[in-house]
Structure 1
């Protein structure tokens, strides 16, 4: 195996397991709260959407920090790399504090915007008011994860994610159902258990970064200029993320718009398909994370030839990873539906949708890798424009197909061909040229 391939694997494998560990916080909460009752579980679902949206929009804290830290590492300035990382952590603290105050203050209106029953809304508010205090730790974990990825360390975030999830499960069981002198707190106990686990995980990650910063003599004090610079550099990634999430919302709306008969079957099938597609995205995104770290380091070192070779190699990794995941999805498509539902109609409709997903996996692999390469290069402004172009290309087509009664399978065909295809076109176009390959510790020429 080539040294480059070994390095990609060294970064990508722990990153993959850390990625799939992250959603387990909410999944474990769901499994435990589900035993309280259907309305409690529904309330958790509503609160979870709000939390996932807030945290998801702040993923730039990990991506942007990875790129900036890796660049300074490649330039041989580890002290500056860690200073940049500390600035990113302080930005996470500020954003988390604002989000927490607003989230607690507006938890009622946020929940009631979903139009659920009073009982469900009550449970959702109870959970959300407590869970919002975990937002700052979650954002700090994003930023510190970005620091460590930029330092080419994807193992520490994995270890913390695994231990954090185990602690979360134990705390939730005790706090939800009670044990000895600890009273049963119900759904509030699930939120409190998660917050405590998140605070502990964030503390460990911060301790790792602080130890490294002190070792290199990097300042731990908040630097206004550095925090502002980190915020400005993240604008493009925020817009990119907003356009991607908007595209997925349009997809879900198109599914609801396009079904008249057997609506519940189509919506349920779409939910299962999206769950599986998201899991596959984690697998492919692990290579993209390796691409972020390696691209940033190579550009920081000023080695444009190495950057180009790494890009070509990681594209190959993305393509063949997509081929493998596509073949696996196609192979299990007749049977995997049984894991999610006993409904034979849903399972039957799921098969052609999964075959469409399988055919699109090689393209998805290339798209995810190139996205990671350009994030690692600090090319956020272009990614923002590319996201807008993709949304503008995808939304009218999928809505027209839905309005014409195309059905779920054709809606997914449009998603794979137009949405992923448009992303592929704009990313390949950028990668073929040299404008994004800015050498040195800064992305500014």
Structure 2
């Protein structure tokens, strides 16, 4: 043990170990998820430009559809973690099964809508005539994988609530590997083209869902928890998840508005914006890993009736968020000469990109605290406040962002508006944290 670690309070060292043990595997699983689309893009890209364009539109729709239901993971994590903290593992798993049944129900509804509506959805994006058939084919086949992906979200929440982020990492790695092999085999080996890529992804997603279900079912049998659907439990899971759905939709609206404003600024600005947004999303994965640890840890402490421990863990995670944000900001500044040319060789795009990138770097410490507090309040089951806070944030951001083109602002001004958005989120979340109203103890909120 070093002298520095020896001088740390025991509670701080304990929190650090818990955060690292949960956040590191969570980060690996988060990074593995977008790699699915990257593999599909790499394989389909060699079929032709029209096929790749069709994949791009269909993948955007699928990603949006799945991300809307991310509350299945968040709400389930908090509910399961509370019961774990209370020492009631059978009830925790039973709660998780309610979330999984809800995921299957929602998945079936999405497929029932997406399959027949695929041509209309693709047309709404203004897809070219050459790319439309490929986009429709990919979207229709891939829609069959949505129930599996929603089960993966809910089951991931179960395991996170049980303080297990390693299993989701292993399943994500296995799914990514299978997806790559299936895509190559079905697209080129079987000659199925873009349909082969879609079927490969569906099969990989189904395999991931099956792996999760095996783990959860074994746990249920070991602890004597019922696996049958319970209408009251499913309804309670839906009610708990609805505020987080509102929060997610509001956040997606912010991102859509930002992209729409960047598009109005011209091709150079939208190209630079997409590069920055990709980087911003990557840093978000790192910060979200700490937030996921926060969901599991805070829920467990509150379920155990330890409000003091929850507050201490929150304080330590905020420190982690600030430190992580500073490190990410510095890395962005130092590495920008290396990674910017990887995305574009256009001097005008690079010139537009660099000042906005500095704004993103400066905002990372703010983002670090925002992500952590978001995770803490999710772990506390404070979804209703998170929904209202995000609506307030959207109301503050939208008019500022929409005024930028008319006032002659550029991409840098838009990312200052994004920083304002994060600052508003910081204020709303910090006020809630300081109030202590989120510290509701017990197995249920």
1:188 equivalent to 2:195? Answer yes
Count of matched residue positions in the alignment of Structure 1 and Structure 2:
434
Equivalents in 2 of 1:440, 1:402: separation in Å?
50
Instruction: Show the counterpart of 2:409.
Output: 406
- Alignment partner for residue 397 of structure 2, among 394, 399, 405? 394
- Alignment partner for residue 236 of structure 2, among 217, 229, 241? 229
Deviation digits for residues 138-186 of structure 1, max 9, x if unmatched?
00000000000000000000001011111100000011112xxxx3010
Instruction: Show the counterpart of 1:285.
Output: 288
- Alignment partner for residue 324 of structure 1, among 321, 327, 343? 327
- Alignment partner for residue 20 of structure 2, among 9, 29, 48? 9
Instruction: Show the counterpart of 2:310.
Output: 307
Instruction: Show the counterpart of 1:241.
Output: 248
Instruction: Show the counterpart of 1:30.
Output: 41
Equivalents in 2 of 1:123, 1:403: separation in Å?
38
1:139 equivalent to 2:150? Answer yes
Instruction: Tell me the secondary structure at the aligned position of residue 334 of structure 1.
Output: helix
Deviation digits for residues 128-147 of structure 1, max 9, x if unmatched?
11000000000000000000
- Alignment partner for residue 50 of structure 1, among 46, 58, 61? 61
1:427 equivalent to 2:441? Answer no
TM-score under structure 1 normalisation?
0.97
- Alignment partner for residue 368 of structure 2, among 352, 362, 365? 365
Instruction: Show the counterpart of 1:220.
Output: 227
Instruction: Show the counterpart of 2:170.
Output: 159
The alpha carbon displacement at 1:117 in A equals 1.5
Equivalents in 2 of 1:386, 1:28: separation in Å?
36
Equivalents in 2 of 1:337, 1:344: separation in Å?
11
1:197 equivalent to 2:199? Answer no
Equivalents in 2 of 1:343, 1:246: separation in Å?
29
1:440 equivalent to 2:432? Answer no
Instruction: Show the counterpart of 2:78.
Output: 67
Question: Which ranges in structure 2 are unaligned for 5 or more consecutive residues?
Answer: 6-12
Instruction: Tell me the secondary structure at the aligned position of residue 22 of structure 1.
Output: helix
Decide which moves more: 216-225 or 331-340.
331-340
The alpha carbon displacement at 1:348 in A equals 2.5
Deviation digits for residues 78-112 of structure 1, max 9, x if unmatched?
01000000110000000001101111011111111
Equivalents in 2 of 1:402, 1:233: separation in Å?
39
The alpha carbon displacement at 1:323 in A equals 0.4
- Alignment partner for residue 346 of structure 2, among 329, 337, 343? 343
The alpha carbon displacement at 1:121 in A equals 1.1
- Alignment partner for residue 111 of structure 1, among 122, 141, 144? 122
Equivalents in 1 of 2:317, 2:421: separation in Å?
22
The alpha carbon displacement at 1:349 in A equals 2.1
1:149 equivalent to 2:156? Answer no
Equivalents in 2 of 1:335, 1:406: separation in Å?
27
Instruction: Show the counterpart of 1:274.
Output: 277
The alpha carbon displacement at 1:404 in A equals 1.0
1:374 equivalent to 2:380? Answer no
Equivalents in 1 of 2:303, 2:386: separation in Å?
20
Instruction: Tell me the secondary structure at the aligned position of residue 404 of structure 2.
Output: helix
Instruction: Show the counterpart of 2:297.
Output: 294
Decide which moves more: 336-345 or 129-138.
336-345
Question: Which ranges in structure 1 are unaligned for 5 or more consecutive residues?
Answer: none
Equivalents in 2 of 1:403, 1:9: separation in Å?
46
Equivalents in 2 of 1:116, 1:86: separation in Å?
40
Equivalents in 2 of 1:358, 1:238: separation in Å?
29
Instruction: Show the counterpart of 2:9.
Output: none
Instruction: Tell me the secondary structure at the aligned position of residue 192 of structure 2.
Output: coil
CA RMSD of aligned residues (A): 0.8
Deviation digits for residues 184-233 of structure 1, max 9, x if unmatched?
01000000000001101110011001100110000000000000000011
> Which consecutive aligned stretches of 4+ in structure 1 deviate over 3 angstroms post-superposition?
none
Check conservation: 1:13, 1:286, Cα contact below 8 A: yes
TM-score under structure 2 normalisation?
0.97
Equivalents in 1 of 2:393, 2:405: separation in Å?
18
Instruction: Show the counterpart of 1:99.
Output: 110
Instruction: Tell me the secondary structure at the aligned position of residue 325 of structure 2.
Output: helix
The alpha carbon displacement at 1:22 in A equals 0.5
